[in-house]
Amino acid sequence: MNIIKVKNYEEMSRVAADIIAETIKAHPTGVLGLATGSTPIGTYQNLVNMYRDGKLDFSGLRTVNLDEYRGLPRENDQSYYYFMHKNLFDSVNLKKDASNLPDGSNPDADAECVRYEKLVESLGYADLQLLGIGRNGHIGFNEPADVFEVNTHCVKLTQSTIDANKRFFASEADVPREAYTMGIGTIMKARKVLILASGKDKAWAVKNSFFGPVTPNVPASILQFHQDVVVVADEDAMSEV
Ligand code: PGA
């Protein structure tokens, strides 16, 4: 596990974008695993800037996203489909049918989970999977639990995640209660994992994920068993280490 400590959010975003750019250059027709949330927005902005400067080409890539709310149509401005188009896909030369997310509008949860897992498998899994980390150590929507869920599955969001995400919705009642997420096994099959953490409210998660025992009660701790993980964390996120 390679832990890179940086000063702040801006430096984290630059370092993360450089690592992703290296992967894109090494695998121009590869598979990029992407994440949503406030953490990767700066990283995506740097990638868009590199594309605009002619330094990066997305035209041969396919992408797979970690997760999506269940029950939100794509056009809802809180869907992860919408987020990805706004923050990255619409600003680079990724081909139209090259991006993939779980389909939040599919009411058949079992069918959707099987479809998405098979799709990621058929693409050969991600060359690089980008991750944020939840305050409770979740990755994707893999929340603290008694076991690691292996494959794409439908989860009930914990109150802590609903609380963290309600700022994006008109009221707490509007936050979806379920989501589709890649499983821990799906994530672990990525050839490289890049996980980002910024801010004091991630300090507990960073300490317990990367400096404590591996346990499904802290889902990101499983990454200690992955052979190629880069953690980019800022001083605040590292403040309890
Ligand atoms: P955040 O979410 O980037 O909005 O903090 C990260 C996560 O919950 O995975």
Residue 97 falls inside a structural domain: yes
Check if 67 is active-site: yes
Domain membership of residue 199 (yes or no) is: no
Residue closest to 99 by CA, chosen among 69, 66, 124, 63? 63
Q: Find the catalytic residue in 46, 65, 67, 149.
A: 67
Q: Output the CA 132–ligand 1 centroid distance in Å.
A: 5
User: What tens digit of pLDDT does each residue of 140-197 get?
Assistant: 999 999 999 999 999 998 888 888 889 889 999 989 999 999 999 999 999 999 999 9
**127 belongs to the catalytic site:** no
Q: Which residue in 138, 165, 234, 236 is the catalytic one?
A: 138
Measure 8 CA to ligand 1 centroid, in angstroms. Answer: 16
- The answer to whether position 237 is within a domain reads no
Mutate to test the pocket of ligand 1, among 9, 38, 39 (most ligand atoms within 8 A of CB): 39
Nearest to 34 by CA among 25, 43, 4: 43
Q: Which pLDDT belongs to residue 157?
A: 87
**Cα end-to-end distance, the chain, whole Å:** 15
Question: From the CA of 174, how far away is ligand 1's center (Å)?
Answer: 18
Percent of the chain's residues with pLDDT above 90: 92
Strand 178-181 to 67-69 pairing = antiparallel
Across the strands, what pairs with 158? Answer: none
CA distances from 121 to 28, 107, 214, 235 (A): 19, 22, 25, 36
**Alpha carbon 89 to chain centroid, angstroms:** 15
In this prediction, residue 31 carries a pLDDT of 98
Name the residue among 228, 232, 165 with its Cα closest to residue 5. 232
The predicted pLDDT at position 161 comes to: 80
Contacts of 95 (CB under 8 A, 6+ apart): 59
Q: What is the pLDDT of residues 56-101, one digit of tens each?
A: 999 999 999 999 999 998 999 999 999 999 999 999 999 999 999 9
The pLDDT value given to residue 24: 98
The full DSSP string for 164-211 is: HHGGGSSSGGGS-SEEEE--HHHHHTSS-EEEEE-SGGGHHHHHHHHS
Residue 10 confidence (pLDDT) above 90 = yes
Q: What is the CATH number of the domain that holds 107?
A: 3.40.50.1360
In a domain, 233, yes or no: no
- Evaluate whether residue 232 is within a structural domain: no
Contact 92, 48 (CB under 8 A): yes
Residue 216 has pLDDT above 90, yes or no: yes
pLDDT for 164: 82
> For the chain, how many structural domains are there in total?
1
Q: Is residue 148 part of a domain?
A: yes
Residue 102 maps to a domain: yes
Q: What is the per-residue pLDDT for 165?
A: 84
pTM: 0.96
State the residue range of the domain holding 136: 2-194+204-227
Flag whether 11 is in a domain: yes
